[in-house]
Amino acid sequence: MRVVITGPTGAIGHALIEKCISNGDEVLAVCRKGSSRIASLPKDAGVTVLELSLCDYDEYISSASKPEVPFDVFYHFAWNGTTGASRNDTDLQSKNVQYALSAVKLASFFGCRTFIGAGSQAEYGRVEGSLRADTPAFPENGYGIAKLCAGQLTRILCGQLGIKHIWTRILSVYGPYDGEGSMVISSLRKMIRGEQSGFTKGEQEWDYLYSADAANAMYLIARKGIGSKIYVIGGGRTRKLRDYINVMDQKVNPAVHPVLGAVPYADKQVMYLCADISELTEDTGFVPEVDFEEGIEKTIQYVKDTNL
């Protein structure tokens, strides 16, 4: 297969490229122009990098030549403003919706038959039970609202362009190449340095999925996923956040104990987060393979190797 991936330098993008390489697929990695993270992408004859920022998709379509051999699948991960105050930057998030529509046009330009969008659990807001495709969505921040809107509008445009559309809603993914500001990466960095970290009480019930498992889910969705469906991507099971933190502490430096309860819960804190992956498993055969203990050991090694 020939695959296009936007935003490929994150945890899932990296793992998905590795998955594609192992299966002999060709990958066009569409990266933000001038990104320092391009250098970390896997080096393989089957991987080509196209430096193209989100805001430049439409111009590229109007000026570039279509590929002689069409691509098959288009994964859209690229998104600006995923953390902190930028999640409620209304101008930025509304532009992301337009960029997602431009990504569909880019998929059509490349001849792709399938468009897979990366949505978020933030589309749901706060929910007591496990998250399913039909769980009512009541996003509480601009990021979640924009993702929900992007999922719905890209589905309409894909229908108009004759492209199969699949939307995913991704829960908490960790692993190598995750953002430096993520809870897992930032905490591991401090633990490795022997610095004490403060956390909330850690009573949240959380569903963490290793990046290679998330990439496998994405890979299977491209091949077996049903058009117009929404798939929730997670591990399908929860542990208290403090249990994850304690595992990290024991794996890195048991002498430096994390301080639970030092940080207050955020406003509108999500206290329960779990994916119902039964439909994903039924349609694609996806089953998580890496438990947190194994995945965090690989992530610790990545942090040490990259001196984050």
> Is residue 93 domain-shared with residue 168, that is, in the same domain?
yes
> Is residue 147 domain-shared with residue 12, that is, in the same domain?
yes
> Is residue 16 domain-shared with residue 136, that is, in the same domain?
yes
d(CA 279, CA 286): 10
For the chain, the distance separating the N- and C-terminal CA atoms, rounded to the nearest angstrom, is: 34
Lookup: tokens for 151: 């999922």
**Cross-strand partners of 31:** 51
> Is residue 281 domain-shared with residue 150, that is, in the same domain?
no
Among 215, 214, 210, 231, smallest CA distance to 165 is for: 231
> Is residue 262 domain-shared with residue 142, that is, in the same domain?
no
**Pair 142, 89: CB distance under 8 Å:** yes
For residue 256, what pLDDT is reported?
84
> Is residue 217 domain-shared with residue 245, that is, in the same domain?
no
Among 52, 186, 169, smallest CA distance to 119 is for: 169
> Is residue 148 domain-shared with residue 246, that is, in the same domain?
no
Give tens-digit pLDDT for 40-51.
999 999 999 999
Q: Which H/E stretch holds residue 58?
A: helix 57-63
> Is residue 120 domain-shared with residue 260, that is, in the same domain?
no
CATH number at residue 53: 3.40.50.720
Is the pTM higher than 0.85? The answer reads yes
**Cβ neighbours of 153 (radius 10 Å):** 15
Give tens-digit pLDDT for 246-263.
999 999 988 888 999 999
> Is residue 192 domain-shared with residue 254, that is, in the same domain?
yes
Angle (CA) 54-126-209 rounded to 5° is 65
What is the span of the domain harbouring residue 120? 2-172+208-233
**Pair 213, 253: CB distance under 8 Å:** no
For residue 203, what pLDDT is reported?
97
Q: Over 90: is that where the pLDDT of 188 sits?
A: yes
Among 197, 201, 209, 184, smallest CA distance to 266 is for: 201
Give tens-digit pLDDT for 206-251.
999 999 999 999 999 999 999 999 999 999 999 999 999 999 999 9
For residue 308, what pLDDT is reported?
55
Q: Mean pLDDT across the chain, nearest whole number?
A: 96
> Is residue 165 domain-shared with residue 186, that is, in the same domain?
no
Q: Residue 265 has what DSSP assignment?
A: P
CATH number at residue 185: 3.90.25.10
- Beta strand 114-120 with 73-76: parallel, antiparallel or unpaired? parallel
Give tens-digit pLDDT for 101-152.
999 999 999 999 999 999 999 999 999 899 999 999 999 999 999 999 999 9
> Is residue 212 domain-shared with residue 298, that is, in the same domain?
no
| DSSP secondary structure letters along 211-243 | HHHHHHHHHHHHHHPPTT-EEEES-S--EEHHH
**Cβ neighbours of 66 (radius 10 Å):** 10
> Is residue 164 domain-shared with residue 97, that is, in the same domain?
yes
Lookup: tokens for 233: 């991507």
What's the total number of domains in the chain? 2
d(CA 147, CA 168): 10
67, 73, 78, 82 alpha-carbon torsion, rounded to 10°: 170
